[in-house]
Amino acid sequence: MMLIADSGSTKTDWVLIGKGCEVHAYTTQGINPYFLKTEDIVKIIANELKGHKLPESILEVHFYGAGCSSLNKSKVVMGALQEAFNDSAVYVESDLLGAARALLNNEEGLAAILGTGSNSCHFDGEQIIQNVPSLGYVLGDEGSGAYLGKILLQAYMTEQLSKDLQLELSLFCNLSKEAILDALYKKPLPNRFLASFSPFLSKQGKHPIIKKIVTKSFSDFFDAHILKYPSHNSLKVGFVGSVSYCFQDILNEVAKTKNVQLGKILKSPIEGLVAYHT
DSSP 40: H
Check residue 20 and give its pLDDT. Answer: 65
CA–CA distance, 207 with 232 (Å, rounded to integer): 31
Look at residues 38, 39, 45, 37 and name the one whose alpha carbon lies nearest to residue 61: 45
Check residue 171 and give its pLDDT. Answer: 86
Which range has highest mean pLDDT (52-56, 120-124, 183-187, 264-268)?
120-124
Average pLDDT value for residue range 173-178: 81
Residues 64/95, Cβ–Cβ less than 8 Å: yes
CA–CA distance, 79 with 48 (Å, rounded to integer): 18
Could you give the angle at which helices 270-277 and 95-104 cross, rounded to 10 degrees? 70
Q: Is the pLDDT of residue 186 over 90?
A: no
Neighbours of 273 (CB within 10 A): 22
pTM (global) more than 0.85: no
DSSP string across 79-121: HHHHHHTTTSEEEEEEHHHHHHHHHHTTS-EEEEEESSSEEEE
Neighbours of 97 (CB within 10 A): 19
CA–CA distance, 264 with 245 (Å, rounded to integer): 10
Check residue 58 and give its pLDDT. Answer: 87
Q: Is the pLDDT of residue 21 over 70?
A: no
Average pLDDT value for residue range 32-56: 86
Q: What is the pLDDT of residues 57-94, one digit of tens each?
A: 788 999 999 889 889 999 999 999 999 888 899 999 99
Percent of the chain surpassing pLDDT 70: 99
70-84, 157-171, 216-230, 235-249: least confidently modelled range:
157-171
8-22, 102-116, 156-170, 256-270: least confidently modelled range:
8-22
Check residue 108 and give its pLDDT. Answer: 96
Q: Is the pLDDT of residue 273 over 90?
A: yes
CA–CA distance, 26 with 16 (Å, rounded to integer): 8
Residues 127/101, Cβ–Cβ less than 8 Å: no
Fold of 2-99+271-277: Nucleotidyltransferase; domain 5 (3.30.420)
